[in-house]
Structure 1
Amino acid sequence: MLVLGLDPGLRHTGWGVVEASGNRLRFVAAGVVDTRTTDDLAVRLVALHDGLAQVLARYQPNVAAVEHTVVNKNAGSSLKLGHARGVVMFTAAAAGLPVTEYLPMAVKRAVVGTGAAEKEQVAAMIRILLPGSGTYRSDATDALAVAVCHANRTATVSAIGRSIRAAVGGTA
């Protein structure tokens, strides 16, 4: 299964693709879709859509996982971020992908073991969990962390399902 992790932002939207097979993870690719702050909002949203559409076409992931954004103190910034999140989620859903959201604390807990982890800790663990992933901008690293979080959750849910089926007499 190819998991596309997304870290939405109006200026920079991070993306990361991870191949998950059971408990095994493999780094595929990562990057950032940037927009120009001098462009109008609508033009920036189109740039986000087009950039993510290229990623989807190139890597053809099976699922998308998006970091759920916590509200900023600045209402205007929160609204702009909401627009970006909408485009990110729409682009993935319009491509036929199931889209799951994860709170930042859940992502950090899945990758580092604590929801209070710092960005540097998350980046270090991503390099350990995904050999060959190298060093990326924080937006891309955060997106990889979201993908890892989803892959781990999916593997856990699948294992629990197998255990339940085995316990009630089905096949494991």
Structure 2
Amino acid sequence: MKILGIDPGSIVTGYGVVEKRQERYIDIRHGEIKIKRGSLFTAALEKVYNELFSIVAEEKPDAVAIENIFYGKNIKSLIKQGHVRGVAILAGSKHHLPVFEYTPLEIKKAVVGYGRAEKIQVQKMVQVIMNFSELPSEDASDAIAVAICHINHRKNDPM
């Protein structure tokens, strides 16, 4: 099972393609799509869409897993994050992939074992699970965690 995990953000969108072989998680590819401050938001959305669309085309995951919007105080940021989620979902669905959504609580619980874990705890667990020599970036780590969460939730039902 190969999953593209996405952590959508209006400035940085993390992605991670993770495959599970036997009992090991394999890092296929991970990184961040960074938007230059001051860019037109429409250009930012287009960049996120194009890069994720290309990643899906190149890596051919079985499904896309994306972090759902969480409650926040800044409504404008949440709306922008919603738009980024939309283009990320579209990038997967244009390739006819199923798209699954997980809350931050579900993701943290699946990776750390505790739904209220701090970001650094998620990063460190992703480092251990994926056997990385260095701590992955925060956004890429979150995206990898989303992929791991999906794999763990779909052990007996891959899609």
TM-score w.r.t. the length of structure 2 is 0.92
2:116 aligns to what?
116
Whichever residue aligns with residue 72 of structure 1, its letter is G
The offset of 1:22, in angstroms, is 5.1
What's the CA shift for 1:137? 1.5
Measured in 2, the distance between the counterparts of 1:146 and 1:51 equals: 18
1:64 aligns to what SS in structure 2? Answer: strand
- From the two aligned structures, give the one with the greater helix fraction: 1
1:27–1:133: 8 Å Cα contact kept in structure 2? no
1:79 maps to a residue whose letter is I
In structure 1, how many angstroms separate the alpha carbons of the residues matched to 2:18 and 2:85? Answer: 21
The answer for unaligned runs of 5 or more in structure 1 is 160-172
Question: Does residue 37 of structure 1 match 2:37?
Answer: yes
Question: Counterpart of 2:143 in structure 1: which amino acid?
Answer: A
Mean Cα deviation higher: 102-111 or 71-80: 71-80
For residues 79-112 of structure 1, the C-alpha deviation after alignment (integer angstroms, 9 at most, x for no partner) is 1111111111111111111100000011000001
- Alpha-carbon RMSD: 1.6
Classify the secondary structure of the residue corresponding to 1:124.
Answer: helix
Alignment: residue pair count:
158
Paired with 1:111 and 1:36, the residues of 2 have a C-alpha distance of 30
User: CA contact under 8 A between 2:48 and 2:87: conserved in structure 1?
Assistant: yes
Where 1:91 maps in the other structure, the secondary structure is helix
Measured after TM superposition, the shift of residue 119 of structure 1 is 0.9
| Structure of higher CA gyration radius | 1
- Whether 2:89 is the aligned partner of 1:73: answer no
Report the CA distance shift for 1:60/1:133 in structure 2 as closer, same or farther (over 3 A).
Answer: farther
Kindly state the Cα deviation for residue 143 of structure 1 after the two structures are TM-superposed: 0.2
Report the TM-score when normalising by structure 1. 0.86
Distance 1:4 1:134 in 2: 21
Q: Distance in 2 between matches of 1:43 and 1:26?
A: 32
Report the 3-state secondary structure (helix = DSSP H, G, I; strand = E; otherwise coil) of the residue aligned with 2:154.
Answer: helix
Which deviates further from its counterpart, 21-30 or 85-94? 21-30
Partner of 1:168: none
Deviations 1:54-89 (A, max 9, x none): 211221111110011113212111111111111111
Q: For residue 165 of structure 1, what is the aligned residue in structure 2?
A: none
